């Protein structure tokens, strides 16, 4: 937040790509467009809403024959026609650099093209330009984007696993502060689906799970802390239910032990094995050594 430089956009894209590769995904790609470039060019061409929908669908389907025909029928100026065709054919961001339009009504579009070029250079320095593809037709249903917009995907999953873009006028709407911003969101569920589709197996968690139960809150809190520090997944029984009920809850949540703690940790604690219902008294320190080791 607070920055509208191509470096900030580059940083966000680098973070996105490294997040996805770090979790183990392969063949990650990011498709990137510009939120208002297409809109501005369509406005410059004087298209009505219906015509805009037609152009967007021709672009999305990459139907260059259909696009050419449409532009001829709707008397696009030749410069604009070339720009549309070139942009719709660009797949790599650096191919965009050769495109510019003559005439003051294209000032905004030229500025946006320039910003894409700057972004391309930034991505090269981050060495992530290989991952990023240009998609002129990419627009978002969400209206607040003002600059780059993007979607991340892998070939094994048919839906994007994340996306985002630049939203420079959004924060202002919630107060007086005008703060440019750029960012992305990842869908954790889709990420897991994508990983699974690539053959990744989610490792079973070997950690022991314990519920600490006590009438004495201070010692219970202390015991939970010690167990967590020893690498155990420990939770505090925060309801006032009976031991029996806690054991039932432990079964549902696949907990290993319920540990009942007295007024002091200097006396033994009672450890109930949730599966076998067998209990034993043991010093907490001994239990920590058993579970933590």
Partner 1 sequence: MNKKIRIAIPNKGRLKKPAIEMLARAGIEVLEEDRAYVSRTSDPRFEAIFARANDIPVYVHYGAVDLGITGHDLILERDANVLELMDLEFGACTLVVAVPEDSPITSVAEVPALTRVATGFPNITRNFFEKRGKQVEVLEVSGTAELAPKLGLAQIIVDITSTGETLKQNKLKIIGTILESTSRLACNKIAYRTFETQITELLARMRGGSE
Binding region for partner 1 (CB under 8 A): 27, 29, 31, 57, 60-63, 91, 133, 135, 153, 155-160
CB of 65 to partner 1, least distance (A): 8
CB of 278 to partner 1, least distance (A): 48
Mapped onto helix, strand or coil, the DSSP state of residue 43 is: helix
Q: Measured from the CB atom, is 68 or 105 closer to partner 1? A: 68
Q: Measured from the CB atom, is 100 or 156 closer to partner 1? A: 156
**CA distances from residue 245 to 67, 137, 160, 250, 253 in whole angstroms, order as listed:** 68, 57, 43, 8, 12
Is 148 within 8 Å of 32 (Cβ atoms)? Answer: yes
CB of 257 to partner 1, least distance (A): 42
Percent helix / strand / coil, the chain, rounded to 5 = 45, 15, 40
Using CA atoms in the order 38, 17, 164, 97, what is the torsion angle rounded to 10 degrees? -20
Q: Measured from the CB atom, is 65 or 278 closer to partner 1? A: 65
CB of 182 to partner 1, least distance (A): 23
Question: What are the residues whose beta carbons fall under 8 Å from the beta carbon of 41, sequence distance 6 or more?
Answer: 80, 83, 84, 106, 109
Q: Measured from the CB atom, is 93 or 258 closer to partner 1? A: 93
CB of 73 to partner 1, least distance (A): 18
Q: Measured from the CB atom, is 63 or 168 closer to partner 1? A: 63
């Amino acid at each position: 937040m607070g920055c509208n430089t191509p470096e900030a956009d580059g940083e966000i894209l680098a973070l996105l790509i490294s997040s996805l590769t770090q979790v183990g995904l392969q063949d990650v790609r990011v498709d990137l467009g510009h939120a208002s470039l297409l809109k501005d060019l369509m406005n410059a061409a004087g298209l009505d809403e219906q015509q805009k929908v037609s152009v967007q669908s021709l672009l999305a389907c990459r139907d260059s024959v259909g696009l050419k025909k449409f532009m001829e029928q709707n008397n696009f100026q030749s410069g604009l026609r070339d720009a549309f065709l070139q942009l719709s054919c660009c797949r790599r961001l650096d191919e965009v650099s050769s495109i510019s339009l003559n005439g003051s009504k294209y000032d905004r579009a030229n500025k946006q093209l320039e910003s894409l070029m700057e972004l391309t250079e930034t991505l090269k320095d981050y060495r992530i330009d290989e991952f990023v593809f240009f998609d002129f037709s990419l627009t978002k249903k969400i209206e607040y984007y003002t600059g780059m917009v993007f979607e991340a995907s892998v070939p094994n999953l048919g839906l994007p696993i994340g996306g985002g873009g630049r939203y420079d006028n959004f924060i202002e709407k919630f107060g007086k502060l005008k703060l440019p911003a750029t960012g992305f969101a990842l869908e954790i569920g889709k990420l897991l689906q994508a990983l699974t589709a690539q053959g990744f197996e989610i490792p079973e968690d070997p950690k022991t799970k314990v519920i600490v139960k006590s009438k004495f809150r201070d010692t219970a809190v202390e015991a939970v802390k010690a167990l967590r520090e020893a690498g155990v997944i420990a939770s505090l029984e925060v309801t006032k239910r009976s031991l029996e009920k806690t054991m039932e809850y432990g079964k549902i949540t696949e907990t290993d032990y319920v540990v009942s703690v007295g007024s002091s940790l200097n006396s033994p604690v009672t450890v109930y094995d949730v599966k076998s219902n067998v209990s034993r008294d043991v010093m907490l320190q001994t239990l920590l050594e058993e579970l933590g080791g």
